[in-house]
Structure 1
Amino acid sequence: MTLLNNINRRFFRIAVVSFTASTVFTSCSATQNNSANTNINPSATTASNTTTTATKEKIKVGVSPVPAGEILEFVKKNLAPEAGLDIEIFTFSDSVQNNFALRDKQIDANYFQHVPFMEDFGQQHNIKMVALNPPIHLNPVGVYSKRHKSLAELPKNGTVIIPGDINNAHRALKVIEEAGLVKLKTTAKGLVSPKDIAENPKNLQVKEVPATQMIPSLPDVDLAVMTGATVLAGGLKTDKDALALESSKNPIYAVTVTTLQGQENDPRIQKLYKLLRDDQVKQFIRDKYQGAVIPIP
């Protein structure tokens, strides 16, 4: 009987120990599970943050250095972050390479050209491009001189240089016609060139040169008819130095965002375009360029 009581007491002690161990194990497991659940929340937060970062849309944009590059840099730093747009800027000094990069889809859009230039370039190189309208800004064509303080001082047989590309040559000729220096053929259709000059009272020698040669050539000629972008690159001031200036009333030559046909409704491109049309950008253009670049309403 005593032996049986001893066995029963041992069994009871074993049961109590087993129960206690089980309780401790269960408690630890619960603690570990709670700890695991606690760890899930930071992960979820991280994932959420990652998702937020991932939704920041990236877009690659080709620009000319001045002024488009400077304007887009302003947008990138001041407006794009809040809009959730990550702009990667590619700067081209050559408009041909800029459009070829668009053609080859190395960039999503570009911002440097006006519609007539885009259409002419597209026809020549079989690239279907689309311009977003209304445009962003105008680089007005103006008449400049290092030799003369007014157009009245222009001598006979004076040399006048104009841009070598057909669109800006057309603009330059229209400006000197409005200034009363020449008259163009009334029968001329489309874009005009020096051969369309009908009347030239001072027998001006009108020569086409590449845009990159305009500023270096300025001291050696009587007049240079240049776009606002060229003027800025040369350190001139439109409001102080221009002897005549293109009107901004009909901004057919205003610069805008261009992309490949079929991509114009891409949300990233639409967002980029909207930011470039923002009132803050217009004020930036007015303040920085003092008339050498004109924002389009």
Structure 2
Amino acid sequence: MNKINRRFFLITVASFTATIFSSCTSLQNNGTANTANSPTATTAANTIATGTKEKIKVGVSPVPAGEILEFVKKNLAPQAGLDIEIVTFNDSVQNNTALKEEQIDANYFQHIPFMEDFGQRKNIKMYAFTPQIHLNPVGIFSKKHKSLAEVPQNALVSIPDDVSNAHRALKVLEEAKLIKLKPNVQPASPKDIIENPKNLQIREIPGAQAIPTLPDVDLAGITGNWVVQSGMKTDKDALAIESAQNPLYAVTLTTLVGKENDPRIQKLYKLLRDDQVKQFIKDKYQGAVLPIP
């Protein structure tokens, strides 16, 4: 078994035991808001006084959501009377499970199509705030080729294995004219490819494996959160990149249906949408992460 096949065999096995987010928005919420059980009772039960501040516990992925929330915690939350406890997860399953079990009050790591798909599969009714906070654009990267024109016949291409981010990567490949998909299919998957002139070999892998396996493939579709962690720059290193004109897959603050009117969560959402946060995103990530207007 050669190196690439061994690597992808291990990834395939790993994908049965871990679901990794990438980042991860349709402008619909997964379920209708139910405010009957919310503000007063929930807030009284969950709020822990810290001086004059209210405590809120939020699950994040490390980068960039964790860094963005850390900026809010240090620079905006004290004046707003919030004490933010940041809980970092590397696994989307753990993050949303913690939300379902009310170990955290909200999470900030996923886009709405991912939330809707996950919620349907795991029977979790979640609410996503819109407008969203930031976009981790999908780019096509390579360690073997300097341009898409160099990509050979039968090239090996990895894309994320979750439904929504696989669709995003395939759309970038289509916009780059490497493949053509069936029209009006959403979400698209590799079986929806109707033209493939280079006979690209598409492999779906967990998002977290995209960077480690990049040397073994010709091309990889990678979401911006993993790109930032790797030290690459989406705007400089990507051979093709997702457009930010339509923020369908932008990341936002999520909570359980029925808790969306909790004053602490409302306050946190407003802070995440603050102009200072947008400027922080622009300055720090230089195009690899994009603030939503």
TM-score (ref. length: structure 2): 0.82
The aligned residue for residue 160 of structure 1 is 157
> Are 2:266 and 1:274 equivalent residues in the alignment?
no
CA distance in 2, matches of 1:219, 1:122: 34
Q: Structure 1 length as normaliser, TM-score? A: 0.81
Name the counterpart of 1:84: 81
Which residue of the other structure, out of 101, 125, 129, is the alignment partner of 1:128? Answer: 125
Partner of 2:247: 251
1:184 aligns to 2:177 (yes or no): no
Match of residue 169 from structure 2: 172
- Which residue number in structure 2 is paired with residue 218 of structure 1? 214
Q: Which has the larger radius of gyration?
A: 1
Q: List gaps (5 residues or longer) in structure 2.
A: 1-48
Q: 1:283 and 2:276 equivalent? A: no
Query: Structure 1: which 5+ runs fail to align?
Result: 1-51
Point out 4+ residue stretches in structure 1 off by more than 3 angstroms: 52-55
Q: Deviations over 1:27-61 (max 9, x none)?
A: xxxxxxxxxxxxxxxxxxxxxxxxx9543111000
Distance 1:243 1:171 in 2: 15
Higher relative contact order (CA 8 A, sep 6+): 2
How far does the alpha carbon of each residue in 1:238-281 deviate from its partner, in whole angstroms, 9 at most, with x for none?
A: 12101111011110100000000011111100110010111111
Q: Provide the residue aligned with 1:197 in structure 2.
A: 193
| Percentage of matched positions with identical amino acids | 75
* Whole-angstrom distance in 2 between the partners of 1:235 and 1:205: 27
Contact 2:167/2:186 (<8 A) preserved: no
Tell me how far apart the structure 2 counterparts of residues 151 and 189 of structure 1 sit (CA, whole Å).
25
Report the Cα offset of residue 216 of structure 1: 0.8
Task: Tell me how far 1:235 sits from its aligned partner.
Answer: 1.3
* Counterpart residue number, 1:18: none
> SS at 2:90's partner residue?
coil
Distance change (3 Å), C-alpha of 1:190 and 1:240: closer
The 3-state SS of whatever aligns with 1:195 is: helix
2:204 is the counterpart of 1:208: yes
Shift of 1:189: 3.4
Q: Normalized per residue, which structure has more helix?
A: 1
Asked if the contact 2:56–2:82 (Cα under 8 Å) also holds between the matched residues in 1, the reply is yes
Q: 1:80 to 1:155 in 2, by over 3 A?
A: same
How far did residue 205 of structure 1 move? 0.4
SS at match of 1:180: coil
Root-mean-square deviation (Å): 1.0
